Structure 1
């Protein structure tokens, strides 16, 4: 029995003093398509088509600099990882790891920190110039520096909170509707099931969109430091 509404996100189950809920992150390794085929399978061909499309799109966002060759696959891998964890959270009795700030902040903070270190070490003048947008009046320059600095500092927080909040919101709504099934009259149960199916379709779309948004924003942040 739930002690509160947010207990569905509590990683409390453990076996031999080990929290087993977080192991759902590693189950995706079993779903990676095997490439040991003389003729590629349809599953592998689908993965390759999606990866190529994402590579072409991220390459346009990053730019054609020599140092960025192959860096798009970092963001493609992160998109696949977040997408897998978002979808796994839609199945019953599977822990939603992306609904926790521990998970999302662990993805966003190292990326943002590496971008900032790379930019300030290699492109210091450009990073200083980026604090004042072009065409800013002289009287507003000190305020724009403060605003741009704050906006850069909160980027990992906004990335992680956006992903976690969207995952929590849909799951809470489905949990609230699911708990009302015991007290509803029998004639309204088909309507409840229909609403739950529609919510599940919406959550599937949110799972795809949020993983794509996370990867695209990370790509844009990396392009700004070059």
Structure 2
């Protein structure tokens, strides 16, 4: 039962006997060039408003020490994740963000770039960050260990948070949908409305988790300046 239940997250989907494991990731990339049309559409205008709002917020989080153009990277991360999350809500499309191999691939290089840049260019600031201000001298060795561990698990928490949230909603939809054939007509109708409500909730989760991933990445990068 457990094997069949979690097998829906295995990257073995196919369309017309053609492997389509990561097709949702490629589809999201193909949708992006529509933003660069000479005549802006409603879709491109709405997306421009979203990206401009994110740019202002990320610029505020980075502060005056942030490098120019760094917000473009975090907006790109948000755009990639939100497109892939929405693609995973369609039937027979593989949700790549529900696997740690994808989320950790995004979180680990970002974190490594922050650490390498911070320790090479702001070594004293990085060392001072290991001991919070006002820490008693007797607790300083313990605080260094705690801050070092909390810093090292950041890419893991980013990856696990995104993957776990995407798995949880899809797993609940799969569990409820598998009970449909054994229910009565009235219960099936109620199940259908429940599934639609959960699908709307998953749409909100897809946006929220993309936003959380991008915001936390921005906050982590602001600490090394």
Same fold, judged at TM 0.5 (above) = yes
Moved more, 181-190 or 40-49: 40-49
Q: CA deviation at 1:41?
A: 2.2
Check if 1:25 corresponds to 2:25.
yes
- Name the residue aligned to 2:164: 165
- Partner of 1:60, secondary structure, is helix
Kept in 2: contact 1:159–1:214 (CA 8 A): yes
Kept in 2: contact 1:11–1:19 (CA 8 A): no
Q: CA–CA distance in 1 between the matches of 2:215 and 2:165?
A: 17
Check if 1:35 corresponds to 2:44.
no
Q: CA–CA distance in 1 between the matches of 2:147 and 2:131?
A: 8
Q: CA deviation at 1:3?
A: 4.8
Q: CA deviation at 1:19?
A: 4.3
Dislocated runs of 4+, deviation >6 Å: none
- Name the residue aligned to 1:4: 4
How is 1:54-73 mapped onto 2 (pairs within 5 angstroms)? 54-65=54-65, 68-73=67-72
Q: CA RMSD in A?
A: 2.0
CA pair 48-143 structure 1, distance change in 2 beyond 3 A = same
Q: CA–CA distance in 2 between the matches of 1:140 and 1:2?
A: 46
Consecutive unaligned residues in structure 2, runs of 5 or more: none
Q: CA–CA distance in 1 between the matches of 2:3 and 2:143?
A: 47
Q: CA–CA distance in 1 between the matches of 2:147 and 2:19?
A: 40
Q: CA–CA distance in 1 between the matches of 2:193 and 2:133?
A: 52
Consecutive unaligned residues in structure 1, runs of 5 or more: none
- Name the residue aligned to 2:91: 92
